[in-house]
A = this chain, B = another copy of it.
Amino acid sequence: MKRPTIADIARRAGVSKGAVSYALNGQPGVSDTTRRRILAIADEIGFSPSSAARALSGARARAVGLALCRPARTLGIEPFFMGLISGVEAELSARSYALTLQVVADPDAEIAVYRRWWGERRVDGVLLCDLRTDDRRVPVLEQLQLPAVVVGGPDGTGALPGVWSDEAAALAETVEYLVALGHRRVARVGGLPELQHTRVRTDAFRAVCARLGLDRGDTVTVPSDYTGEDGARATRRLLSAARRPTAVIYDNDVMAIAGLSVAQEMGLTVPGDLSVVAWDDSPLCRLVRPPLTALSRDIPAYGGQAARLLLDAVAGVRVAAVRTPTGHLTPRGSTAPPRTP
């Protein structure tokens, strides 16, 4: 099939190509009757403007990029990214923007992708995920002047706007809840230490534990790579210690589920012998027994907010960081007062 162009429409409408372009883009310069006639013809022949031609003549590419730099095995099972993507998508398709996705192996490859996208004019802007401490991607994007929004923040984003939530507050709420239940030995299986939000959570954890008078040796954070195996390993280590924790907070849902299994395997009952908290919440947390107490956020809404901010930045609006609602604790069956042995 031959693809229709504005020349086809112009011919059928008996006007110039310029007039068609104005009519299609809602610009002034055509009479209302002409505009309606042109739109009707475009609709009839199923016209969509060539994104290449459009992009080439200085307009936008109408696509934004998302490069994901986590090992594939993590990506596949963590519901977080798919939730984020579906939220981003919903916002983008409403404005008929495309999402260009690329999975990369490491930050250097990711930087190369940004440079390439920029040179190719393939995307109008990018969403930056998994912000790191001293993130080398930030200055590159600033220098390229490629519109970008960080999914995270508010610190460490340089001049880029971030969409963030108060993770320290969410963590404090969690620890306070556990302490109110009577826990004094609370451990944490954290995410990748080089990620900014891991650091925020770890610092907040230390601070709130100190504030509540918990013993520093009883409130450790074990790093992990987010995989179930690593979560299991960390849990085994924690539960084998002489003074084992009575509650563990996991930095993702998959590790929390792995930790639950390990505890049960070691003959501990949840929540009797061990309380378990997952961050973030996901349908998986409701599937296991007992269902997991979790920190819930509306992740698609979070992605939607990021997309909206990015589209504003692309449109040339000066955007500032946006704070989204703080995650809240959803208590389920995996947390209870510790059983005193």
Among A4, A54, A63, A122, which residue has the most Cβ atoms of chain B within 10 A?
A122
A284 to B78, CA, bound (A): 10
- Whether the Cβ atoms of B282 and A121 lie closer than 8 Å is no
A46 to B99, CA, bound (A): 24
- Given A79-B76, A82-B77, A300-B72, verify A120-B283 contact (CB < 8 Å): no
- Given A286-B228, A289-B261, verify A100-B103 contact (CB < 8 Å): no
- Given A76-B82, A76-B83, A79-B76, verify A287-B4 contact (CB < 8 Å): no
Q: Cβ of A118 < 8 Å from any Cβ of B?
A: yes
Contact with B along A119-133 (1 / 0, CB 8 A): 111100000000000
Which of these, B47, B52, B116, B232, contacts A121 with CB under 8 Å?
B52
Please, which residue of chain B has its CB at the minimum distance from the CB of A255? B287
Which of these, B3, B52, B101, contacts A89 with CB under 8 Å?
B101
Say which one of A90-98, A173-181, A191-199, A236-244 lies at the interface with B: A90-98
- Whether the Cβ atoms of B52 and A119 lie closer than 8 Å is no
Contact with B along A86-114 (1 / 0, CB 8 A): 10011001001011111110000000000
- Whether the Cβ atoms of B122 and A98 lie closer than 8 Å is yes
- Is chain A's binding surface mostly helix, strand, loop or mixed? helix
Q: What is the copy number of this chain in the assembly?
A: 2
A168 to B268, CA, bound (A): 41
With a cutoff of 8 Å between Cβ atoms, the chain B residues found around residue A63 in the complex are 100, 122
Among A77, A121, A264, which residue has the most Cβ atoms of chain B within 10 A?
A77
A48 to B3, CA, bound (A): 27
- Whether the Cβ atoms of B76 and A86 lie closer than 8 Å is yes
Residues of A276-303 whose CB lies within 8 A of B: 282-284, 286-289, 300
A60 to B254, CA, bound (A): 40
Q: How far is the CB of A8 from chain B (nearest CB, A)?
A: 12
A315 to B24, CA, bound (A): 33
A257 to B79, CA, bound (A): 15
Please, which residue of chain B has its CB at the minimum distance from the CB of A82? B76
Please, which residue of chain B has its CB at the minimum distance from the CB of A122? B51
- Whether the Cβ atoms of B48 and A120 lie closer than 8 Å is yes
With a cutoff of 8 Å between Cβ atoms, the chain B residues found around residue A72 in the complex are 82-83, 86, 90, 300
Q: Cβ of A204 < 8 Å from any Cβ of B?
A: no
Q: How far is the CB of A46 from chain B (nearest CB, A)?
A: 6
Q: Cβ of A1 < 8 Å from any Cβ of B?
A: yes
- Whether the Cβ atoms of B101 and A99 lie closer than 8 Å is yes
- Whether the Cβ atoms of B75 and A86 lie closer than 8 Å is yes
- Whether the Cβ atoms of B93 and A103 lie closer than 8 Å is yes
Q: Cβ of A55 < 8 Å from any Cβ of B?
A: yes
Given contacts A52-B61, A53-B56, A99-B102, 15 further A-B contacts (CB under 8 A): A3-B121, A4-B119, A52-B53, A72-B86, A76-B83, A81-B82, A85-B103, A89-B101, A90-B103, A93-B103, A96-B116, A98-B100, A99-B100, A261-B289, A265-B289
